[in-house]
Amino acid sequence: MNELNEQPQTTRIALVRIQSRVTVTGVIRSVATEAIGSSPAVRCVLADGSGQIDLLFLGLESLTGLVRGRRCTATGRACVHRGRLVIWNPRYELEPPATPQDDGHGGAGRVLIIGDDPRLCRVIEVNLAVRGYQVDTAATAVAASSLAGRCPSLVIVDLGLAGADGVAPVITICGRAGRVPVLAVSARGGEDMRRAVIAAGASDFLAEPFPVGDLLLKVRHAGRPSGQGRGPQRR
């Protein structure tokens, strides 16, 4: 396996400049084998919350350790291939697999994120995946219905869904998810908003913008039995 012998300063993917030598760190979103010209290649899509970049390993059909959800640091020269930002045959280092935070069922669990803001969804997805959560995303409540069979342990829904009206998305998701806890996030904060989403059936509420630490705390709390209750809220 390629390994980095030094730890150069990393660059956020959104700030990567074409033809510059960069080091980027992120979470692997997907790994696939494809043909480039007459040669096989492994394409690894790396995301850091600000954007994503493809790591292309030409002449290979597989690479041990490159799996979805694993954190990776890669170094190489950035360029564009078929309209996508890529690094060809980078040097890379994989962090040890994350130890899932136990949710009482032998793992960190599966989280379903529903929202049409790609940046917000990517930030949440990356931060949960690197901590051992299995993450699914859907742009609409209708699209999310096809993922219901995967039995998420938590649903995170953005109240800013295009065309959505107030707390209606929460009501929809709660109706489909049954007793699965729902964390609602919204750019409209305030106590009145929190009370409205809780009354609509959400387990918890988080106002945007929020620190990642606050998000992780609420996700961990929602996975506990005490975070799943749907009874009357204490005042």
pLDDT tens per residue, range 61-86: 888 888 887 889 999 999 999 999 99
Q: pTM for the whole thing?
A: 0.54
Average pLDDT over residues 49-69: 89
Q: Could you tell me if residue 2 is inside a domain? A: no
Cis check: omega of the bond before 209, within 30 degrees of 0:
yes
Query: What's the one-letter identity of residue 87?
Result: I
Q: What six digits make up the tokens of 134?
A: 């299995």
Maximum Cα–Cα distance across the chain? 67
Q: Are residues 121 and 193 in the same domain?
A: yes
Residue 4 is predicted with a pLDDT of: 43
Q: How many C-beta atoms surround the C-beta of residue 159 within 10 A?
A: 24
* Cβ atoms 48, 126 nearer than 8 A: yes
Q: Is the pLDDT of residue 174 over 70?
A: no
* Cβ atoms 47, 13 nearer than 8 A: yes
Q: Are residues 47 and 141 in the same domain?
A: no
> Average pLDDT, whole number, for the chain?
79
Q: What six digits make up the tokens of 129?
A: 């995946």
Q: Is the pLDDT of residue 180 over 70?
A: yes
Confidence bin at 101 (pLDDT 50/70/90): very low
81 by DSSP, 3-state: which? Answer: strand
Query: What's the one-letter identity of residue 143?
Result: A
Q: Could you tell me if residue 103 is inside a domain? A: no
> 221 is in which domain, residue-wise?
110-227
Confidence bin at 102 (pLDDT 50/70/90): very low
Using a pLDDT cut of 70, give the percent of the chain over it.
74
Q: Are residues 164 and 121 in the same domain?
A: yes
What's the CATH code of the domain at 46?
2.40.50.140
Number of structural domains (the chain) is 2
211/153 Cα distance (integer angstroms): 22
145's CB contacts (< 8 A; 6+ apart) are 176
pLDDT tens per residue, range 1-22: 444 444 568 899 999 999 999 9
Cross-strand pairs, 36: 39
Exposure of 169 by Cβ count < 10 A (0-12 exposed, 13-18 middle, 19+ buried)? buried
Residue 92 is predicted with a pLDDT of: 92
pLDDT tens per residue, range 14-47: 999 999 999 999 889 899 999 998 899 999 999 9
Q: Is the pLDDT of residue 98 over 60?
A: no
Final residue of a structural domain among 63, 94, 125: 94
